[in-house]
Amino acid sequence: MTDKSEVQTCLYRQTLLAGLWRENPVFRLLLGMCPTLAVTAAVKPALTMGCCVIFVLVCSNIIVSLMRNLLKPHLRILMFTLTISTFVTIADLFLKAFVPDMSETLGPYVPLIIVNCIIIGRAEACASKNRLAVSVIDAVGMGVGFTLTLCVLAGVRELLSTGKIFEVQLMPDAFVPCAAMSMPVGAFITLGLLLALVNMITKKEA
Amino acid sequence: MLKIKHFIQQSWLLIVASFCFGLLIAVTDAALSPRIEQNKTNKRNRLVGALLPGTKDFIPLETEITIESLRGKKEKIEVYQAMSESGKCVGWSFNVAGPGFADKIELVVAVDKDFEKLSGFDVLASNETPGFGDQIKCDYYRDQFKGAPAEQLNLVPSGDPKKIDDEIVAISGATISSEAVVEIISNSITQIKDQMHEKELIGNDRQE
């Protein structure tokens, strides 16, 4: 009995940690590139986007996991999209009502979470095959992993383009801000360099 | 009959789920839409309030004003009358949109009470290039419109931005965005002014 619960705890921990590093959606699976490149000019929008993704991911995994035995194989993608779009619309309405400025900054990228591969990928790969608890833990792990990655990327870009993070001056006065870092070119360069860094670390680990 | 049974067997979950999810969205929307509308009004009032000092209230104009947009479509424009605390007309404001460099630019424009001079404009929504086109939000560009005549404006490549007239000096590196704003304002303001005169909402004979 103890063995069984230990195995279960171990499985939960592994599922949670997988999203953070081993199967990190951005750095390891290269999923969800559109928001990764588009909303990481500053940390605040990146954090908001991450929170929205966590909310949608957890809710859609719960629903998909609950109805996994009722799903008809050829209609499953349709059901996933329907579930995801419902929660994205709700998240979008909440942003518009409570943080209107942030909603404007994120613009179309909130509705675009509907086609974010991470969410539909987790519904297909995990929630439609696993119990509720595993699906929720997987969603939290993947969501937090995605949010952290976005924040790291946004942190680097915001720091180099303005010298500030969260309105706090971090760079010395002599620092010359590089406006290009807040533009798409900065997103591609930072993402490329971070991916190279992650690959270097994982190669060393192996 | 068999076909219907097969159809229901296959799709009952989809139908039930669509209904439930639709209901969920409807409830959320009903709960949040007053707040969302309020946010929009607050933002507009805050922006116009800064352009027309002394404004206490905005009264939407009941008369319908329609203009031909830059894309050649007929568009209905909501014009608001800005009233001071004592009930006097401080000026007018309206929202207009038009094509920018990257995306649509939405502006709120404020005009003085006789529709003679612009009181300024502010950007409600835009997606211009950071560092270049988004300088249309900067004071040095926007200040050129404060006090400019409420008629056809012209964009000039260089000049003195501090001189207030119908010539607007372009932002260097962002000619298209600067031009877009000038065109949106010129196009709408001339048409709105004519219609307001026609409908006798403004003019010398009108007493405030």
* Cα–Cα nearest to A59, from A123, A141, A150: A123
Whether residues A75 and B39 touch (CB distance < 8 A) is answered with no
Contacts of A79 in chain B (CB under 8 A): 13-14, 17
User: Which are the contacts of B135, defined by CB distance < 8 A and separation ≥ 6?
Assistant: B141, B171, B174, B177
Q: How far apart are CA B69 and CA B198, in angstroms?
A: 19
* Cα–Cα nearest to A160, from A189, A127, A201: A189
**The complex's ipTM?**
0.87
Q: Does A104 touch chain B (CB under 8 A)?
A: yes
Whether residues B39 and A41 touch (CB distance < 8 A) is answered with no
When pLDDT is averaged across residues B129-151 and rounded to a whole number, the result is: 87
Report the length, in residues, of chain B.
208
Predicted pLDDT of residue A154: 95
Q: pLDDT tens digit string along A112-143?
A: 999 989 999 999 999 999 999 999 999 999 99
- Does residue B100 sit in helix, strand or coil? coil
Contacts of B11 in chain A (CB under 8 A): 75
Q: pLDDT tens digit string along A149-199?
A: 999 999 999 999 988 888 888 888 888 888 889 888 999 999 999 999 999
Predicted pLDDT of residue B204: 54
Question: Nearest CA to CA, how far is B13 from chain A (Å)?
Answer: 7
Q: How far apart are CA A21 and CA B112, in angstroms?
A: 59
Predicted pLDDT of residue A1: 54
When pLDDT is averaged across residues B38-65 and rounded to a whole number, the result is: 85
Query: Which one of B8, B13, B104, B134 makes the best mutation probe of the A interface by having the most chain A beta carbons within 10 Å?
Result: B13
Residue A2: pLDDT band with limits 50, 70, 90? low
Q: How far apart are CA A192 and CA B151, in angstroms?
A: 50
| Facing residue for A90 by CB, picked from B13, B25, B35 | B25
Domain ranges of chain B: 51-198
Predicted pLDDT of residue B208: 43
Residue B49: pLDDT band with limits 50, 70, 90? confident
Residue B63: pLDDT band with limits 50, 70, 90? confident
Contacts of B6 in chain A (CB under 8 A): none
Predicted pLDDT of residue B203: 67
Antiparallel, parallel or unpaired: β B65-68 and B167-169? unpaired
Q: pLDDT tens digit string along B143-188?
A: 999 988 888 888 988 888 888 888 899 998 889 999 999 999 999 9
| Alpha helices (runs of H) in chain B, residue ranges in sequence order | 2-51, 139-142, 175-198
